[in-house]
A = this chain, B = another copy of it.
Amino acid sequence: MTASRTAERYDVGVVGAGLAGLTAARELIDAGLEVVVLEARDRVGGRTAAGSLSTGDTIDRGAEWIGADHDRVLELVEEFDLELCEQHGAGVDRVAVAGGLFDHEDRFGALPEESTAELRAALERIESLRRDVPLESPDEAPDAERWGGTTLESWKRETMATGAAREAFDAFVRAEFTVEPSAISLLYFLAAVDAGGGLEIPGESTSATQEYRLAGSTQQLSDGLADDLGDAIRLSEPVRRLERRDDGVTLETDDGAYAVSDAIVAVPPPLIDRIDHEPPLPARRQGLVQRMPMGAVIKCFAAYEEPFWREDGYSGSVLATDGIVTEIADGTLPDGDRGLLVGFVAGADALEWSDRPAAERQKRVLEEFGRYLGPQAADPLAYDDEVWSKTRWSAGGYNAAMTPGTLTTCGDVLREPVGRVRWAGSETALEWRGFMEGAIRSGERVASEILEDRSARGS
């Protein structure tokens, strides 16, 4: 190929127009650089994704909740003049595990006494252990080899004896990380909890990561950034090939080639390997990509005349293992009369149900909504769901998670540049990993790394 001869030239090429890539691009353009952003989809936003139901109600098909400490997100909300809404929290949570249905104003306190004690002790143990895991180098934790070679499933079985506590823990892990406890190590879980700001074992159902949402959709954050970038963004141009040289990078799409001095790859980790890298990636970088699969989640939406569950004294928050729905949350927007429930099928059930016919899935999910929140919940005005494992340029959701044994062997290359190629995306965040906040911060990180590097080399 002699594509580089006819390539368009830029200072920086960004692969992926999610929050990480868009943030990095804006910072670099603000610093005076010429930037091109190559996006595979026909829209910006990545895992922020607006949608609407047949009732006209706007939904967040992807990332939704915003924490009170998510400074960068809140700054963008202000900058783009978006409407922030408080998450409804009042009322009783329900926990459906081990064949029982338990109510309590704090879901972690809902189980029978012995199970609640076990579960709380386990969560406190996690909080204590994670403090021994260095944020930037979790592979250097005191017992890293052993914790990295032990699945969270094994740890759960050792730590908790009652079925109810174990199942509530399963539901929690699935809901928060969209993986089975068997698929990640204790060490990765500790590191992920740490980078996500801690467990915040709460006395209330809204945690500090879920205080707000946006009227409209979080995709407005991405759209706002994109508006600033204008024609720097090329949609529907998946990068097929990435050629590294000592003095730059060539990015090839079906439509052209882009010769850049520095590149940022800001796509979900498993998609890094869909690009044909020349020369091949370093073995541990390649190894990490192969060992960091996406979680699996189906996000389900049901709209009702009103949030009827509130009248029954329920918060709308459900945590469950007795069906395929792992979690339900109240997704009602404050300015509408309409009620909205958001449900999550996550982990193994999400993989299995992603391939079932949509009607069958709807029937099953609504049946479970009804079981947990009353017959009205089974009969919404409108229903839809987003199957993240089937979305072509995400290949799963919410995030990628390292498999057991990976953190201690390849984990330290997660943010390590390969020549002039740098890695962004929420998975690479040191703070608020797995959140929009983490994605934005990762974009800031790579942008400032590039500016420093360019300055050091005198470009």
Contact = CB atoms under 8 A, between A and B. Distances in A.
Contacts of A284: 351-352, 354-355
Contact of A290 (B150, B294, B408): B294
Interface stretch (A21-29, A88-96, A389-397): A389-397
B348 A409 contact: yes
A339 interface: no
A390 B277 CA distance: 11
Interface stretch (A180-188, A257-265, A426-434, A437-445): A180-188
A370 interface: no
Quick one: which of A182, A350, A387, A395 has the most chain B CB within 10 A? A182
A291 B150 CA distance: 17
Given A280-B390, A355-B283, A389-B283, A405 B149 contact: no
A284 B180 CA distance: 14
Interface in A226-253: 238, 240
Interface stretch (A4-12, A56-64, A268-276, A317-325): A268-276
A293 interface: yes
A357 to B, nearest CB: 12
Given A280-B390, A290-B396, A409-B348, A150 B149 contact: no
Contact of A286 (B150, B290, B389, B408): B389
B276 A351 contact: no
Contact of A182 (B153, B355, B390, B404): B404
A403 interface: yes
Nearest to A240: B240
A406 interface: yes
Interface in A113-159: 145-146, 148-151, 153-154, 157
A101 to B, nearest CB: 24
Interface in A255-310: 270, 273-274, 276, 280, 282-284, 286-287, 290-291, 293-294, 296
A406 B392 CA distance: 21
Contacts of A179: 405
Interface in A147-200: 148-151, 153-154, 157, 179-183, 185
A293 B291 contact: yes
A365 B54 CA distance: 65
A84 interface: no
Contacts of A276: 238, 274
A146 B410 CA distance: 26
A336 to B, nearest CB: 32
A408 B151 CA distance: 15
Contact of A154 (B154, B282, B293, B351): B154
Contacts of A153: 149-150, 404-405
Contacts of A404: 151, 153, 182-183, 403-404
A182 B350 contact: no
A254 to B, nearest CB: 9
A403 B179 CA distance: 13
A441 B406 CA distance: 32
Contacts of A149: 151, 153-154, 180-182
Quick one: which of A276, A389, A405, A406 has the most chain B CB within 10 A? A405
B390 A283 contact: yes
Interface string A204-242: 000000000000000000000000000000000010100
Contacts of A238: 276
A270 to B, nearest CB: 5
A290 B151 contact: no
A252 to B, nearest CB: 11
A189 to B, nearest CB: 13
Interface of A: 145-146, 148-151, 153-154, 157, 179-183, 185, 238, 240, 270, 273-274, 276, 280, 282-284, 286-287, 290-291, 293-294, 296, 347-348, 350-352, 354-355, 387, 389-392, 395-396, 403-406, 408-410
16 contacts: A149-B151, A149-B181, A150-B151, A151-B405, A180-B405, A182-B404, A183-B403, A274-B276, A283-B350, A283-B355, A283-B389, A283-B390, A284-B352, A286-B389, A291-B293, A351-B409
Given A153-B404, A283-B352, 6 more contacts: A150-B154, A153-B405, A181-B405, A183-B405, A238-B276, A286-B396
